[in-house]
Amino acid sequence: MAERIQEIKKLTGINKIAQVSSACKLLSDPTRLKILCLLFENRMGLCVNEIAEHVGISHSAASHQLTKLEARNIVTSFREGQMICYAISDNNETRNLEKVISIFRRT
């Protein structure tokens, strides 16, 4: 019983709650969610123009959302010639986001 209480305290700690809330905010924007799904399916990454075309948004709108995701270390950018491309970062938060997205894909 004491172990279970400790687990509950870990899950309800201020830092953990803030982390979960922040992750939910990332997924709350439909455009960002589409971009994340696309990048999870294309692990090697895609260039901004490819992302914009697949998601159905302008280049600048895609760049804006990708900048937000990069600031949170959800994606990383790299260059292919003169084009800026993005790929999913490999960290705990992105793995957790992918799990959450996969739950909703199955329903």
What is the distance between the alpha carbons of residues 15 and 28, in angstroms, rounded to a whole number? 20
pLDDT at 96 over 80: yes
Domains of the chain by start residue, with CATH? 29-106 (1.10.10.10)
Band of the pLDDT at 106, cuts 50, 70, 90? Answer: confident
The pTM of this model reads: 0.81
Tens digit of each residue's pLDDT (9 = 90 or more) over 36-87: 999 999 999 999 999 999 999 999 999 999 999 999 999 999 999 999 999 9
User: Which residue from 22, 24, 46 is spatially nearest to 101, judged by alpha carbons?
Assistant: 24
